[in-house]
Amino acid sequence: MLDEKKNKGEPMPYLANINVRWGEFDLDSLREMRFEPNELERYGLKCGDIVMCEGGEPGRCAIWKDERPGMMIQKALHRIRPKDELDYRFLYYSLLYKGRNDGFSGLFTGSTIKHLPGQNLAKVEVAYPSLVEQQRIAATLSAYDDLIENNRRRIKLLEESARLLYREWFVHLRFPGHEHVKVTDGVPEGWEQKPVPDVIALNPTERIERGKEAWYVPMSALSENGMTVNRGDFERRTEHTTVKFRRKDVLLARITPCLENGKTGFVYFLDDDEVACGSTEFIVMREKEVSAYYTYCLARTYDFREHAIKSMIGSSGRQRVQVAAFAEYAVLVPPASLMKEFNESVEPMFVQIATLERHTEKLGKARDLLLPRLMSGEVMV
């Protein structure tokens, strides 16, 4: 029986429900559990297996491509391994289409929290053409996904580069010319140490005209690992929340467990004169004495997040960070010339990330438009 607390078997990484996204896996927050020899076949993954969520968002699925050898799954996931007459990619796209278009809803159990039990999943029927035709369809759709995955890898590398430069200059103090600068009590000569509210505007006041349609950004749109957001979760609303923001603001989750999980975003998706609203569980951080890029990188640092987490108050399960807590956290403010040099170094990275993300969104929309037409035979390849 699978149990994180058991002491038999070898520790191995495993996928949980939260690690499975639509069409991809989040491998940055993996946990380990002991698996005994008799459990390896039942819960082990092979390249080409389809992994599907049983609960949470039933039907959410992705293809395992052996990103990490020796990966296992927990009981809350379904492992789907097609027979020889089915191309695994074709089956995946068939299931993906059903999952995104309520094709499984009649098989769900539970009134409040929906589940897709294995015995009900086994009732799903999939129409399929010849194996050759399946492979053609899958290859066409996979070409879009390959481009999307390549963009995501590039986005991840760009953000890692920007955050690494921030840590080198402003955490480890290995900034250009550091060899010739005296450091006293952790503060380089010519620098200042100031509380966060002195250098970053927190929850700045904004206004959207009453009744005007504007974007609403929910908590679900924020990533736990990077600056990009899921625009598919956005809504157009004429009733606005009190949390409003502009381009280049930083959105920080203030409630548990979203803060601990890392939900933070950079607002690259608005026009220069556009104001949007969002979840009331966001703290908006706006550049003031330090730049927007510095602000985002700061919000991703371990020390900053630990301070926020430790200052949370409220009842268990609904704890929140209070903006006042940031007055007790000091940041290093470099000379204007060094801040300018940092901005000039990382701004192209942020711009490229935004460009790649827009391209990725277009590719996803094009694939999603083509998917049902290929599956129905309306479009032949």
Question: Mean pLDDT of all residues in the chain?
Answer: 94
Asked whether residue 170 falls in the same domain as residue 122, the answer is: no
Give just the sign of the alpha carbon dihedral 117, 98, 362, 141. Answer: positive
Asked whether residue 265 falls in the same domain as residue 377, the answer is: no
In a domain, 357, yes or no: yes
In a domain, 3, yes or no: no
Residue 255 C-alpha from the chain's centroid? 17
In a domain, 5, yes or no: no
Asked whether residue 30 falls in the same domain as residue 106, the answer is: yes
Please tell me the predicted confidence (pLDDT) of residue 29: 77
Domain count, the chain: 3
Taking the model in full, what pTM does it have?
0.88
Please tell me the predicted confidence (pLDDT) of residue 266: 98
Asked whether residue 110 falls in the same domain as residue 196, the answer is: no
Helix segments in the chain, DSSP class H: 40-43, 88-100, 118-121, 131-166, 196-199, 258-261, 292-299, 302-310, 336-376
Write out the residue range of the structural domain in which residue 158 sits.
133-184+334-381
Asked whether residue 208 falls in the same domain as residue 260, the answer is: yes
DSSP symbols for 279-310: -TTEEEEEESSS-HHHHHHHHTSHHHHHHHHH
Asked whether residue 290 falls in the same domain as residue 313, the answer is: yes
Domain boundary at 128, 154, 176, which?
Answer: 128
Please tell me the predicted confidence (pLDDT) of residue 4: 63
Question: What single DSSP character describes residue 171?
Answer: I
Asked whether residue 62 falls in the same domain as residue 162, the answer is: no
Please tell me the predicted confidence (pLDDT) of residue 303: 97
Is residue 79 a contact partner of residue 105, using CB atoms and an 8 Å limit? no
Asked whether residue 325 falls in the same domain as residue 353, the answer is: no
In a domain, 58, yes or no: yes
Is residue 58 a contact partner of residue 104, using CB atoms and an 8 Å limit? yes
DSSP symbols for 200-267: EEES------TT--EEEE-GGGB-SSSS-B-GGG-EEESS--S-EE-TT-EEEE-BTTHHHHT-EEE-
Q: How far apart are CA 377 and CA 282, in angstroms?
A: 45
Q: Specify the CATH number for the domain of residue 76.
A: 3.90.220.20
Please tell me the predicted confidence (pLDDT) of residue 318: 86
Please tell me the predicted confidence (pLDDT) of residue 319: 94
In a domain, 325, yes or no: yes
Is residue 226 a contact partner of residue 156, using CB atoms and an 8 Å limit? yes
Please tell me the predicted confidence (pLDDT) of residue 7: 72
Span 259-309, pLDDT tens digits: 999 999 999 999 999 999 999 999 999 999 999 999 999 999 999 999 999
Asked whether residue 295 falls in the same domain as residue 373, the answer is: no
Span 89-126, pLDDT tens digits: 999 999 999 998 889 999 999 888 899 999 999 999 99
In a domain, 309, yes or no: yes
Asked whether residue 348 falls in the same domain as residue 321, the answer is: no
Residues of the chain with pLDDT under 50: 1
In a domain, 2, yes or no: no
Q: How far apart are CA 89 and CA 87, in angstroms?
A: 5
Domain boundary at 315, 333, 351, which?
Answer: 333
Asked whether residue 213 falls in the same domain as residue 172, the answer is: no
Q: How far apart are CA 306 and CA 10, in angstroms?
A: 32
Please tell me the predicted confidence (pLDDT) of residue 18: 87
Asked whether residue 24 falls in the same domain as residue 106, the answer is: yes
In a domain, 1, yes or no: no
Within 8 A by CB and 6+ apart from 105, the residues are none
Question: What single DSSP character describes residue 76?
Answer: T
User: CA angle, corner 193, sides to 192 and 199, nearest 5?
Assistant: 90
